[in-house]
Structure 1
Amino acid sequence: MIDQLVCLTLIVPHRLRDEVFDHLAEQSDLVSGFTATPGSGHGTEVRLHTAAERVKGHADQTVVQVVLAGKDASRLLDRLRVSFAGTKLVYWTTQVMELGRID
């Protein structure tokens, strides 16, 4: 049976962006690449770390998405839990129905 592909989405506070990018790049046995886009965190659970964020009313964040096998996503999450313990990174996984490239 083939392991189902998933998309692991991480919500990364701006202050941890480079550190998370470096960490993902070091996980070459699991991660062949990832996509990152700017995001704005809103809500009661979102920490506003800087004065600028408090004025704007939202946290500057980066949305990171990695598509990989489900078992590899579990392994990557285990590594992230060790390396980023206490940072309250938010994540979720979604099933990927199809992945391809249009040439």
Structure 2
Amino acid sequence: MTSESVCLTLILPRQFRDELFEYLGEQTDLVRGFTAADAAGHGAGVRLQSMAERVKGHADQIIVWIVLDRSDAERLLDRVRASFTGTNLVYWILPVAGFGTID
């Protein structure tokens, strides 16, 4: 049976950026790399933490994309749940039809 590649997306308040990056860097058995960007969170479930966020009308967030095998994504997500409880972290997993590097 071949493994299925997926993209695990993680979104959380920007205040946890460095902590998340360090944490993912320590998960060398599952994470070989990731891509991240700043994001603006909108919606009823988004917590506006500061006065600046309330004025802007969106939450300052970080979004991370990690491509890995489905089973590794589930294992990583279990670890993230345990380590980032209470941070309002949002996630989803999507299938990846193709993935590679063009040198």
Confirm or deny: 8 A CA contact 2:36 2:65 kept in the other structure: yes
Q: Secondary structure at the match of 1:76?
A: helix
> Please, which runs of 5 or more residues in structure 2 have no aligned partner?
none
Tell me which residue corresponds to 1:44: 44
Distance, in Å, in 1 between the alignment partners of 2:33 and 2:76 is 13
1:47-103 superposed Cα distances (whole Å, 9 cap, x missing partner):
000111010000011110000000000000010011011222000000000011122
Tell me which residue corresponds to 2:66: 66
Q: What TM-score do you get using the length of structure 1 for normalisation?
A: 0.97
Computed over aligned residues only, the root mean square deviation of the Cα atoms, in angstroms, reads: 0.7
Q: What TM-score do you get using the length of structure 2 for normalisation?
A: 0.97
> Please, which runs of 5 or more residues in structure 1 have no aligned partner?
none
Amino acid at match of 2:99: L
Confirm or deny: 8 A CA contact 2:13 2:62 kept in the other structure: yes
Q: How does 1:1-103 map to 2 (within 5 A)?
A: 1-103=1-103
Percent identical across equivalent pairs?
Answer: 59
Distance, in Å, in 2 between the alignment partners of 1:73 and 1:23 is 15
Deviating above 3 A after TM superposition, structure 1's stretches of 4 or more consecutive aligned residues are none
Amino acid at match of 1:101: T
